[in-house]
Amino acid sequence: MFRGDGRARAVDFPAAPPWRRFTPAGPESRDPAAGPEGPGRRTALPYLIRPQHADVVNAALHLRRPLLVTGPAGTGKSSLARAIAYELQLGTLLRWPVNSRSTVRDALYQYDAIGRLRETTLHRDGGGDAGPGSRAEERPEPSIGTFIRLGPLGTALVPSSRPRALLVDEMDKGDVDLPNDLLTVFEEGVFDIPELTRLPEESADVEVQTADRHGTVLIRQGIVQCDEFPVVVITSNGERDFPPAFLRRCVQLYLPVPGEEQLRAIVAAHLGEAALREADDLIETFLRRRAPGELATDQLLNAVFLRVGGVDLDADGLLDAVLHQLTGSM
């Protein structure tokens, strides 16, 4: 496609790999629990899990405890959350990608104080301009709920007939205090929104936005209390150890790097048996290169995808570009 000759030309884009396809947001996207994956998300992808690992997942489901998934990069930690949400029909997976600035407060809800101030001022000014008895009365002042949006954690705790699924992704990237702050929320399954609890009782039932596209929920007296504990999957690459009090309250699952047989099954599940037949040498190279350092399963999938598409991977450096080590110097 790209030649680097500086000449503009029309090219046809070949089909994207299944794991890089996106579905556009259509009108059906208004229902948060509509699609198993929801709008804008990738469509259902195969996920292979060993029976003994599925047992651990089920233990967490039975105990209503968060599942803490650890293991090297690309072993399917994040995908596991998506697979659970899809298979158990828990609606769109709620995602909380953790970084060093993440706080539990922000994951619960965000209040746009500045936006509200601006809107209220505009509204009052607009009403004043037009003289007495004018627009201010026709158009009610925007509700405070318009400026409150529940985050992924807050949305997961909203009472509903089915528990929601929440992915707390790469929690080891977060601040040291994060696990302890989370502990309280996970133990009690409740949080309050002080901006709403402060309101006079008769006006304290407020509709706020949720983390779902177009989603709203009525919050009574500023308190959100779950009835079923959500299905929570926490992933960690092991960059940070978590405190014992936190670990004690999680069910732990270690996902090891997949062996050859498992890799073959994963390739076949994503790209078909025919692709697998073309991939013997790639799997062998992948296993050899993985031995000294880290390689993620999706790197093998990428290589097989290119091979099936007719790309000559033996060309200088191309295989290196796809199967490069994830750790160590560049």
Ligand X SMILES: Nc1ncnc2c1ncn2[C@@H]1O[C@H](COP(=O)(O)OP(=O)(O)O)[C@@H](O)[C@H]1O
Site string for ligand X, 217-236 (x = CB under 6 A): ------------------x-
Asked if 297 is part of the footprint of ligand X (rule: CB under 6 A), the reply reads yes
CA distance 168 to 95: 6
- Short-list 303, 309, 305, CA closest to 321: 303
> In the set 29, 79, 155, 209, which binds ligand X (CB under 6 A)?
79
Nearer to ligand X, 20 or 135 (CB): 20
Binding partner at 174 among Mg ion, ligand X, none, C-beta below 5 to 8 Å by kind: none
The answer to whether the beta carbons of residues 34 and 90 sit under 8 Å apart is no
Contact 177, 2 (CB under 8 A): no
Number of residues that bind ligand X (CB under 6 A): 19
Q: Which is nearer to ligand X, 149 or 290 (CB)?
A: 290
Nearest to 84, CA basis, from 201, 167, 191 = 167
Residues between 3 and 42 with contacts to ligand X, criterion CB under 6 A: 19
Nearer to ligand X, 76 or 154 (CB): 76
* Number of neighbouring beta carbons within 10 Å of residue 217: 19
- State yes or no: residue 299 binds ligand X (CB under 6 A): no
Distance in angstroms (rounded) separating the CA atoms of residues 64 and 156: 13
Q: Residues in the site for Mg ion, rule: CB under 5 A? A: 78
Longest dimension (CA), the chain: 81
Backbone angles phi, psi at 51, to 5 degrees: -55, -40
First to last CA, the chain: 27
Return the residue of 32, 74, 127, 174 that touches ligand X, per CB under 6 A.
Answer: 74
- Using CB under 6 A, which of 35, 36, 66, 76 touches ligand X? 76
Question: Looking at beta carbons only, is 66 or 222 nearer to ligand X?
Answer: 66
Please select the residue that binds ligand X; options are 84, 266, 282, 306, rule is CB under 6 A. 266
Cβ proximity to ligand X: between 68 and 224 the closer is: 68
Beta-strand relationship, 231-236 and 205-209: unpaired
Residues binding ligand X (CB under 6 A): 19, 45-49, 73-79, 235, 266, 269, 296-298
